[in-house]
């Protein structure tokens, strides 16, 4: 049994199955969110805790290998923004080695000016509730989606199954009910396959660990105050038109972010993704690790979390999309780095200068690479 007492209550997790030790997979933190005041903070995701790229890749391989052997195309993968867009891309890339007739879509909170909306739905407990899903930009992938019989839904964790259920309902409401089976892929699944009670489709859950959770709220606990990050809108900053990594469909990846970057053996480098722009910065981290760097990966996020427990340090700054919302970087400022590299899908000048100044206090070099 895994138990953590927070200022707002006590979370108890009882494992039922899984090959991974719970302590290796996650820790717990307090969310600045009155709808749900606890958060499973993954130690292998590369979102709130810096992680070596090889550890993240091992997770992608492990989850992809758990997909059913009889799975045949066409298959549609959909990853949940913002937290699981990189996880979804990694699992998808591994699965594409044998599932060649497949396409990845990721949900988004950044409207695509050149995109065609497929559906929208809500994640009710989230700090940012609204999700948009776009058709693939490539017509061949549009046809693949329309012929697909298997739907693979990917998120970092499942607690109630509501997010997946809401997406399935939104797809069905738009007439996209051709799927014959659903597979859910998560790092940890505490939902007891609740999705199967919300759909007539057969559901197969895949995760590194399964179990049950119980939250005992403290009656006299103060209600967390959440910053205003619940925005799904177009900001004042232009987003790159190169949308090949998930928001408008992904099949094969062109690993070209920071293609000319080199490192010295042993250089301690932190590569940061930003918001939903995760996959290409992760591939850059892998590339620098292969060159001999002591590389770690993490990401800028809009998720508001309180300091303490899994969160040892917090940086807060202005978002780079021109939305006027706060962004955060966790578990970085208390460490020392030789070099920090930020990958973004907005112009380099959109990164908050105050954020860069904070990073320069813990790194000898700070660089921004815009994907344009």
How is 100-132 classified by DSSP, letter by letter?
-SEEEEE-BSS--TT--EEEEEE-TTSSS-EEE
Give the CA angle between residues 270, 271, 274 to the nearest 5°: 130
N-terminal to C-terminal alpha carbon distance within the chain? 48
Identify whether the C-beta of residue 229 lies closer than 8 Å to the C-beta of residue 300.
Answer: no
Residues in CB range of 137: below 8 A, 6 or more apart: 114, 115, 243, 248, 249
CA distances from 216 to 7, 13, 37, 219 (A): 11, 12, 11, 9
pLDDT digits (tens, 9 = 90+) for 194-246: 999 999 999 999 999 999 988 898 888 777 777 777 788 899 999 999 888 89
Phi, psi of 264 (to 5 degrees): -100, 145
User: 3-state DSSP helix/strand/coil percent for the chain, to nearest 5?
Assistant: 20, 35, 45
Closest to 183 (Cα-Cα) out of 99, 100, 123, 118: 99
What is the rounded distance in angstroms from the CA atom of residue 145 to the CA atom of residue 250? Answer: 12
Mean pLDDT score across all residues of the chain: 93
- Tokens 């559901």 map to which residue? 203
Identify whether the C-beta of residue 112 lies closer than 8 Å to the C-beta of residue 243.
Answer: yes
What is the rounded distance in angstroms from the CA atom of residue 222 to the CA atom of residue 231? Answer: 25
pLDDT digits (tens, 9 = 90+) for 272-285: 999 999 999 999 99
**Which tokens sit at 343?**
């990958």
Pairing state between β 294-300 and 326-330: unpaired
Q: What residue segments make up the domains of the chain, in order of their start?
A: 25-217, 268-370
What is the rounded distance in angstroms from the CA atom of residue 203 to the CA atom of residue 21? Answer: 25
> By CB neighbour count within 10 A (0-12 exposed, 13-18 middle, 19+ buried), where does 130 fall?
middle
Closest to 67 (Cα-Cα) out of 101, 45, 86, 94: 94
Residues in CB range of 173: below 8 A, 6 or more apart: 119
Per-residue pLDDT at 237: 96
pLDDT digits (tens, 9 = 90+) for 89-116: 999 999 999 999 999 999 999 999 889 9
Identify whether the C-beta of residue 152 lies closer than 8 Å to the C-beta of residue 77.
Answer: yes
Per-residue pLDDT at 124: 58
pTM above 0.85, yes or no: yes
What is the rounded distance in angstroms from the CA atom of residue 234 to the CA atom of residue 220? Answer: 39
CA distances from 320 to 52, 258, 340, 351 (A): 25, 19, 17, 5
Per-residue pLDDT at 122: 82
Using 50 as the pLDDT threshold, list the residues of the chain that sit under it. Answer: none
Helix (H) or strand (E) holding 41: strand 38-42
- Tokens 């693949």 map to which residue? 144
CATH architecture of 25-217: 3-Layer(aba) Sandwich (3.40)
93 DSSP 8-state letter: H
């Amino acid at each position: 049994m895994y138990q953590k007492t927070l200022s707002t209550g006590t979370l108890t997790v009882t494992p039922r199955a899984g090959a991974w030790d719970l302590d290796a997979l996650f820790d717990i933190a307090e969310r600045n969110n009155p709808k749900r005041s606890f958060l499973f903070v993954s130690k292998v995701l590369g979102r709130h805790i810096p992680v070596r790229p090889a550890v993240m890749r091992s997770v992608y391989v492990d989850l992809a290998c758990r997909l059913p052997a009889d799975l045949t195309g066409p298959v549609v993968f959909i990853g949940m923004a913002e937290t699981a867009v990189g996880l979804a891309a990694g699992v998808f890339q591994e699965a594409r080695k044998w599932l060649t007739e497949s396409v990845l879509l990721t949900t988004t909170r950044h409207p695509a000016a050149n995109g065609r909306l497929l559906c929208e739905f809500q994640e009710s407990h989230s700090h940012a509730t609204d999700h948009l899903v776009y058709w693939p930009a490539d017509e061949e992938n549009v046809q693949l989606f329309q012929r697909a019989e298997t739907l693979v839904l990917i998120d970092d964790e499942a607690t109630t199954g509501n997010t997946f259920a809401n997406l399935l309902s939104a797809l069905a409401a738009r007439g996209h009910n051709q799927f014959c089976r659903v597979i859910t892929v998560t790092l940890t699944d505490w939902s007891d396959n609740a999705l199967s009670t919300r759909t007539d489709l057969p559901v197969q859950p895949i995760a590194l660990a399964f179990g049950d959770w119980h939250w005992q709220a403290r009656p006299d606990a103060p209600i967390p105050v959440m910053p205003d990050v619940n925005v799904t809108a177009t900001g004042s900053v232009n987003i790159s038109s190169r949308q090949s990594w998930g928001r408008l469909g992904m099949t094969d990846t062109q690993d070209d972010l920071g293609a000319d970057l080199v490192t010295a053996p042993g250089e301690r480098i932190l590569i940061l993704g930003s918001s939903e722009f995760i996959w290409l910065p992760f591939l850059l981290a892998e590339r620098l690790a292969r060159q001999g760097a002591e590389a770690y990966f993490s990401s800028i996020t809009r998720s508001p979390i309180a300091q303490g427990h899994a969160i040892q340090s917090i940086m807060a700054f202005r978002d780079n999309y021109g939305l006027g919302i706060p962004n955060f970087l966790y578990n970085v400022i208390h460490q020392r780095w030789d070099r920090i590299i930020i990958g973004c899908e907005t112009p380099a000048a959109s990164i908050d200068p105050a954020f860069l100044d904070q990073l320069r206090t813990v790194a000898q070099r700070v660089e921004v690479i815009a994907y344009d």
